[in-house]
């Protein structure tokens, strides 16, 4: 079955994985605890304000995909929820930690992943993070991929693919700009992509105008001393 999680479904799944590892004494989670975990302000990007109905609908979809569901607990008064990633993918602990952080915070560099995953798994160095990312990328189908390096940055970022490859077009636009091609020639797949391209074109044009004005101002400044 093809997996294409929404942003809310990814948040719910990531929150379940995180809480199982960091607060096992409170896991599985009640609906109220799961909502709070999804909406917490730390280690979340973006910060969300999900309702119980939002989380319940996401859990229905995750249950259909067999990625999460209601837990069998001795306390029948309160329904509790758990993830089932291990049963589906048989992840190593490093893979689980990296994927969890990508689900909760979006695309990140290996350095960011190492720091933010520390409560779930302590990576000795960046090569261990790279190893976990490589395992996720080498799965069939791949569960992570590297993004094109943005202009002015030293490290590449990685994204999870359980939510699909929605950022691919944006990465291609960034690569085109970095290589000196115009945004008009970047591949466009839909209305959202066209809007992003138009915004990038506008920003590039504004930057070029600022540079031209600075050059003119510097030229006038030099003439004062000639």
**How many alpha carbons lie under 13 Å from residue 22 in its C-beta half-sphere?**
18
Q: How far apart are CA 126 and CA 190, in angstroms?
A: 36
182-188 average pLDDT score: 37
How confident is residue 184, by pLDDT bands cut at 50, 70 and 90? Answer: very low
Residue 152 has a pLDDT of 84
Residue with the bigger pLDDT between 150 and 223: it is 150
Supply the pLDDT for residue 216.
Answer: 66
Write out pLDDT tens, residues 36-86: 999 999 999 999 999 999 999 999 999 999 999 999 877 668 899 999 999
Distance CA 130, CA 111 (A): 10
The larger pLDDT score, comparing residue 118 to residue 178, is at 118
User: When comparing pLDDT for 208 and 86, which is higher?
Assistant: 86
Mean pLDDT of the region 15-28: 97
pLDDT tier for residue 203 given thresholds of 50, 70 and 90: low
The closest of 165, 151, 88, 99 to 129, measured between CA atoms, is 99
Domain residues of the chain, as ranges? 7-146, 167-223
Please, are residues 21 and 120 in contact by the beta-carbon 8 Å criterion? yes
Mean pLDDT, range 25-29, rounded to an integer: 96
Q: How many other C-beta atoms can be found within 10 angstroms of the C-beta atom of residue 108?
A: 23
Residue 31 pLDDT level (bands cut at 50, 70, 90): very high
Instruction: Give the C-alpha separation, 204 to 163, whole Å.
Output: 30
Query: Within a 10 A sphere around the Cβ of 126, how many other Cβ atoms?
Result: 14
pLDDT the model gives residue 195: 54
Q: For the chain, how big is the Rg over CA atoms in Å?
A: 22
Average pLDDT, the chain: 83
Count of residues in the chain: 226
DSSP 8-state class, residue 147: P
pLDDT score at 77: 81
pLDDT, position 40: 97
As a three-state string, the secondary structure of 32-62 is: HHHHHHHHCCCCCCCCCCCCHHHHHHHHHHH
- Looking at residue 108, the DSSP 8-state letter turns out to be B
Strands 80-83 and 144-146 turn out to be unpaired
Closest by CA position to 118, among listed 12, 22, 11, 10: 22
CATH match for 7-146 among 1.10.10.10, 1.10.490.20, 3.20.10.10, 3.40.50.2300: 1.10.10.10
Rounded distance between C-alpha atoms, residue 43 and residue 193, angstroms: 28
- Can you tell me the distance from the alpha carbon of 212 to that of 191, in angstroms, rounded to the nearest whole number? 32
Please tell me the predicted confidence (pLDDT) of residue 171.
44
Q: Identify the pLDDT of residue 74.
A: 73
- Distance, CA of 132 to CA of 84 (rounded, Å): 19
């Amino acid at each position: 079955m093809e997996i294409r999680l929404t942003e809310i479904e990814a948040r719910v799944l990531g929150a379940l994985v995180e809480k199982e590892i960091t607060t096992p004494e409170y896991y599985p989670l009640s609906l109220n605890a799961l909502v709070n975990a999804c909406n917490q302000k730390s280690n979340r990007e973006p910060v969300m304000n999900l309702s119980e109905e939002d989380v319940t609908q996401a859990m229905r979809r995750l249950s259909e995909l067999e990625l999460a569901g209601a837990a069998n607990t001795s306390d029948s008064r309160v329904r509790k929820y758990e993830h089932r990633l291990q049963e589906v993918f048989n992840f190593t602990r490093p893979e689980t930690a990296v994927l969890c952080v990508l689900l909760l915070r979006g695309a990140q560099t290996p350095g960011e992943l190492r720091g933010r995953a520390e409560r779930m798994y302590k990576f000795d160095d960046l090569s261990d993070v790279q190893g976990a990312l490589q395992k996720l990328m080498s799965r069939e189908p791949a569960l992570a991929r590297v993004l094109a390096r943005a202009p002015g940055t030293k490290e590449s970022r990685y994204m999870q693919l359980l939510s699909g490859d929605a950022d691919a077009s944006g990465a291609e636009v960034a690569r085109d700009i970095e290589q000196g091609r115009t945004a008009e020639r970047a591949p466009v797949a839909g209305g959202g992509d066209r809007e992003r391209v138009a915004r990038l074109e506008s920003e590039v044009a504004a930057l070029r105008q600022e540079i031209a004005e600075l050059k003119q101002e510097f030229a006038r400044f030099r003439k004062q001393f000639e």
